[in-house]
Chain A
Amino acid sequence: MSYQRQVSRTLDDEHRVNLELLGRIEQAFARAPRSGTTGHAELIQLAGALARHIEQDVGRHFDFEEQELFPRMSDAGDGDMASLLIEEHGAIRAVASEVLPLAQAAAGGTLDGAGWTSLRRGALEMVERQVAHIQKETMALLPLLEDLLDDDADRELSFAYAAA
């Protein structure tokens, strides 16, 4: 999708980067055995990337959408979809809070076998929830922003997001 608004483009770019990472995580963890993955170099590297994704991207991205975009979506008449997206944020945050310490431990080489099993399960759940969420935002939120934001609002929100 080619967007005219800077906000839509920025969010779409982040979605693409996230999907690329999530795809790699999904493939690597789906291929990995359910147990005994301790010390696998690719998984350790991906666990580190997942931890950074949760720490640096998830909260910032979600907070911006919840504070600035979903209220506009509700005002535009799609409060149901905005509510659903907020609920999905809550579910993703819940999974992320479980996965983050496991991913950090995996990246630091201190995760035991049971922890890897939990990390595998949590990472795959996080991938599925985020992909489905991005799917909905791509089909509902981003196209709506194209219509809702004027030049001033677009510029103002872009600066606010960049500064966050």
Chain B
Amino acid sequence: MTGAAREPVPEKAKAASFAPLDAGDASEAPRPAKAVQDPRGRKVKTTPGAFLGGAVGRLLPASIPFRYFGAAAVFHVAAWVALFAGADGAPRYRGGLGWTLASLHLVTLGVLTMTAIGASLQLLPVATRQAVRTRHAPTLVFWLYAPGVAAAAVGMGLPSVPLLATGALLIAVALAIYAVLLARNLFGARGMPAVIAHVWVAWIALAIVLVAALSLAFAYAGGTALPRAVALALHVPFAAYGFMGMLALGLSYILVPMFALSQPPDERTALVSCALACSAFAAVAAAAFGIAVVPLRVAAIGAGGVAVALHLRLMLASLAKGMRRDLGPSFRLVRLGWAMLAASLAAALGVALDVPFGGMATLFGLLLIAGWLLTFLLGILQRIVPFLASMHASRGKHRPPTPSSLAAGSALSVHAVCHVSALAVLAAAIVLDNAWLARIGTLIGLVGSVAFLAFFVQVVRRMLGAGAEGRTRAASV
């Protein structure tokens, strides 16, 4: 049929095993990305939107992304427990060690960053059409990072400075290794320039966050790298909007069109959005060092607002023009997250202009971290976990489980109701400066987080069950 030499057909993965789908022995050198050739053996260009080509061979073993997602689900529960412990001071929280700070970092490090690492390790090799270079490094990152987050959170909550410092060091080493993995992937990236640009900005923000966070953590132990005010002014925007935010925006350019079955968003507009975000970060960084603080922060919020508006316009167009319009309850959370992103910028303006409301900074934190990032991420996570699980459970099976059959049950509905209610009650607690409302909101959030954990456990159990069934069938043939 063709004159081109066929590539050797890789041995198939064991049916629905917990092993990588390309069935490579973990000790083997990773397979390089396959060159795309036409039937006559010519090299051909790759088409935008073709990023799923070769995707099956670029799947990590299920155990890698799922350990990150599972840990995120566990830390999610822990975050609500910690917030309950610190609920007394939560409505007017302005910083300092204690359980409120621990809760904040259980969300940012334990849920958001944990998921971001797991998702980016799996998504980026697919999106940038590169082979998975190593399976050991992501595992090492996890075993440094997860205990580090636990130690740092407990160290903040108790408080115990040695525990906090130990946790901070583990986290810093893990994130440094992750940054190297990310950079190696980005250097070899092909296609999707807007996604790559966003992830590079997130990478730079991560480097800044690491310096600022270590400076803040070791200030408690008497160390000084950056003045506390400077480190704090860099830490919050570069961690939330910079690292997590740009990663979320960048990966959305892959995930949203994929789920909606729509054209890839306009690259130029996405790049303009990215450039505006960069200018906002530059203004924030200058303001952190005391240069024209209020004007630069207001300018940063303005530039960030336009960047967000462009991004959301692309996302909404993608959803509107997609072949798949109704994306279910998960995307209602995603849409709520987008609304909270815009609201967080309005609250940031209130903080920058020092509006006379004692809970402004706390409200900003709630809208930014729980309102936007957590809501958005949980919406995306409840979509990609069953999708990825069905991919891993499917090979070699006559009729593999569908994502919805893996996720069936009421846990996600309970989670969605509780999550949204908890946000509303916590916002009311901040506005009214009411610790009882904060406790009630926290308990509602805790119920939701347990429901989300139950959903995750159920998906993994069903995935493993499908795998065991497939192996039994294969053995009996």
CB contacts under 8 Å to B, within A115-148, are: 124-125, 128-129, 131-132, 134-136, 138-140, 143-144, 146-148
On whether the beta carbons of B56 and A144 are closer than 8 Å, the reply is no
On whether the beta carbons of B6 and A90 are closer than 8 Å, the reply is no
The contact of B37 among A1, A77, A128, A140, by CB within 8 Å, is A77
On whether the beta carbons of A148 and B324 are closer than 8 Å, the reply is no
Contact residues in A for B323 (Cβ distance below 8 Å)? 15-16, 19, 134, 138
A88 to B393, CA, bound (A): 12
CB distance from B180 to the nearest CB of A (A): 27
A26 to B325, CA, bound (A): 12
CB distance from A71 to the nearest CB of B (A): 7
On whether the beta carbons of B44 and A87 are closer than 8 Å, the reply is no
A125 to B46, CA, bound (A): 33
Contact residues in B for A74 (Cβ distance below 8 Å)? 6, 9
Residue A78 interfacial (CB < 8 Å)? yes
Residue A91 interfacial (CB < 8 Å)? yes
CB distance from B356 to the nearest CB of A (A): 50
Contact residues in A for B37 (Cβ distance below 8 Å)? 75-77
Residue B54 interfacial (CB < 8 Å)? yes
On whether the beta carbons of B50 and A139 are closer than 8 Å, the reply is yes
Chain B residues within 8 Å of chain A by Cβ, number: 51
A124 to B404, CA, bound (A): 10
CB distance from B82 to the nearest CB of A (A): 38
Contact residues in B for A153 (Cβ distance below 8 Å)? 39
The contact of B261 among A19, A77, A124, by CB within 8 Å, is A19
On whether the beta carbons of B35 and A77 are closer than 8 Å, the reply is yes
CB contacts under 8 Å to A, within B108-147, are: none
A84 to B323, CA, bound (A): 22
Q: A81-B54, A139-B51, A140-B53 are in contact. Are A75 and B1 (CB under 8 A)?
A: yes
Q: A19-B261, A76-B37, A139-B258 are in contact. Are A147 and B46 (CB under 8 A)?
A: yes
Interface centre among B7, B9, B53, by most chain A C-beta atoms within 10 angstroms, is: B53
Contact residues in B for A95 (Cβ distance below 8 Å)? 399
Residue A151 interfacial (CB < 8 Å)? no
CB contacts under 8 Å to B, within A70-86, are: 71-72, 74-81, 83-84
Residue B410 interfacial (CB < 8 Å)? no
CB contacts under 8 Å to A, within B1-35, are: 1-2, 4, 6-7, 9-10, 12, 21-22, 34-35
Q: A84-B394, A87-B395, A135-B258 are in contact. Are A128 and B403 (CB under 8 A)?
A: yes
Contact residues in B for A1 (Cβ distance below 8 Å)? 49, 263
Residue B397 interfacial (CB < 8 Å)? yes
Residue A56 interfacial (CB < 8 Å)? no
Q: Mark A1-21, 1 if CB is under 8 A from B, else 0.
A: 110000000000001100100
On whether the beta carbons of B326 and A27 are closer than 8 Å, the reply is yes
A134 to B261, CA, bound (A): 9
CB contacts under 8 Å to A, within B29-84, are: 34-39, 44-57
Residue B400 interfacial (CB < 8 Å)? yes
Contact residues in B for A39 (Cβ distance below 8 Å)? none
Contact residues in B for A79 (Cβ distance below 8 Å)? 7, 9-10
Residue A48 interfacial (CB < 8 Å)? no
Residue B402 interfacial (CB < 8 Å)? yes
Q: A87-B397, A134-B261, A148-B44 are in contact. Are A143 and B53 (CB under 8 A)?
A: yes
Residue of A nearest to B40 (CB): A150
CB distance from A68 to the nearest CB of B (A): 10
Residue B396 interfacial (CB < 8 Å)? yes
On whether the beta carbons of B404 and A128 are closer than 8 Å, the reply is yes
A147 to B53, CA, bound (A): 12
Residue of A nearest to B263 (CB): A1
A27 to B396, CA, bound (A): 31
The contact of A75 among B6, B45, B53, by CB within 8 Å, is B6
Residue B398 interfacial (CB < 8 Å)? yes
A27 to B57, CA, bound (A): 34
Residue of B nearest to A143 (CB): B50
Q: A75-B6, A147-B36 are in contact. Are A140 and B52 (CB under 8 A)?
A: yes
On whether the beta carbons of A140 and B36 are closer than 8 Å, the reply is no
A87 to B13, CA, bound (A): 13
On whether the beta carbons of A131 and B324 are closer than 8 Å, the reply is yes
Q: A83-B12, A135-B258 are in contact. Are A71 and B1 (CB under 8 A)?
A: yes
Contact residues in B for A144 (Cβ distance below 8 Å)? 36, 47, 50, 53
A78 to B6, CA, bound (A): 11
A140 to B1, CA, bound (A): 22
CB distance from B473 to the nearest CB of A (A): 14
Residue of B nearest to A80 (CB): B56
CB distance from A53 to the nearest CB of B (A): 16
A91 to B402, CA, bound (A): 10
Contact residues in B for A94 (Cβ distance below 8 Å)? 398-399
On whether the beta carbons of B402 and A146 are closer than 8 Å, the reply is no
Residue of B nearest to A8 (CB): B47
Given contacts A80-B54, A91-B399, A147-B45, 4 further A-B pairs with CB under 8 A are A74-B9, A77-B34, A87-B400, A90-B399
A-B complex: 4 closest residue pairs judged by Cβ atoms: A143-B50, A77-B34, A139-B52, A80-B56
Q: List 28 A-B contacts (CB under 8 A).
A: A1-B263, A15-B323, A19-B323, A23-B325, A74-B9, A76-B44, A77-B36, A78-B56, A79-B7, A79-B9, A80-B21, A80-B56, A80-B57, A81-B54, A81-B55, A87-B397, A90-B398, A91-B399, A128-B402, A134-B323, A135-B259, A135-B261, A138-B261, A139-B49, A140-B54, A144-B36, A147-B36, A153-B39
Please give the residue numbers on chain B whose beta carbons come within 8 Å of chain A beta carbons, in ascending order.
Answer: 1-2, 4, 6-7, 9-10, 12, 21-22, 34-39, 44-57, 258-259, 261, 263, 323-326, 387, 390, 394-400, 402-405
